[in-house]
């Protein structure tokens, strides 16, 4: 094993990673999943990237859209592994140049995201985020992508909040690694 390949000593299953939750963050009543426990451990990080790469292989994407902000790290690693580019969906006012925006609802309120149409170089786009809850964020991103003529082949996230599964109406296949 070379020094940079830690996969051989990684946990056998992504479900083995201990999670950290923060009650009442960012608002009262929200039980926040801190995915930092995946990013700060090289074994967990490689396991997550390897599993996302493997489990999204059937989704014929030629480009990725990374959701603000933890989706940036995941999409960057996944894009590298897949040999494709990626762009960022961000909060309003964070992207320079021309951007298009959409307002949407999520599990604890409403928000707005923006994308830069000229940055979406592919035609078949996979949306990448850290946690899937209501699905509002990925559906908003999908709406923007479709508005500029892109095919949304699916979405991927590390964690799926099981409480919301029966309450979602998603318009694309979604790959997640673990229910919480």
CB atoms within 10 A of CB 24: 10
How far apart, in Å, do the first and last CA atoms of the chain sit?
A: 33
Specify whether the CB–CB gap between 176 and 158 falls below 8 A: yes
Rounded Cα gap, residues 35 and 72, in angstroms:
13
Q: Is 107 a catalytic residue?
A: yes
Specify whether the CB–CB gap between 132 and 70 falls below 8 A: no
Q: Is 70 a catalytic residue?
A: yes
Rounded Cα gap, residues 138 and 107, in angstroms:
12
Rounded Cα gap, residues 7 and 43, in angstroms:
6
Catalytic residue among 7, 55, 105, 107: 107
Catalytic residue among 70, 82, 90, 114: 70
List the catalytic residues: 70, 107
């Amino acid at each position: 094993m070379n020094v940079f390949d830690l996969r051989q000593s990684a946990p056998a299953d992504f479900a083995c990673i201990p999670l950290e939750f923060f009650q009442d963050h960012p608002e009262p009543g929200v039980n926040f999943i801190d995915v930092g426990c995946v990013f700060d451990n090289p074994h967990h990080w490689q396991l997550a990237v390897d599993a996302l790469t493997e489990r999204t292989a059937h989704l014929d994407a030629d480009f990725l859209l990374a959701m603000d902000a933890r989706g940036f790290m995941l999409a960057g690693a996944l894009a590298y592994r897949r040999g494709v580019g990626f762009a960022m969906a961000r909060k309003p006012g964070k992207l320079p140049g021309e951007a298009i925006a959409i307002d949407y609802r999520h599990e604890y309120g409403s928000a707005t995201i923006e994308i830069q149409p000229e940055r979406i170089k592919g035609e078949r786009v996979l949306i990448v985020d850290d946690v899937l809850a209501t699905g509002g964020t990925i559906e908003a991103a999908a709406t923007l992508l479709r508005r500029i003529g892109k095919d949304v082949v699916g979405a991927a996230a590390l964690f799926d909040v099981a409480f919301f599964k029966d309450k979602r109406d998603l318009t694309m296949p979604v790959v997640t690694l673990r229910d919480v």
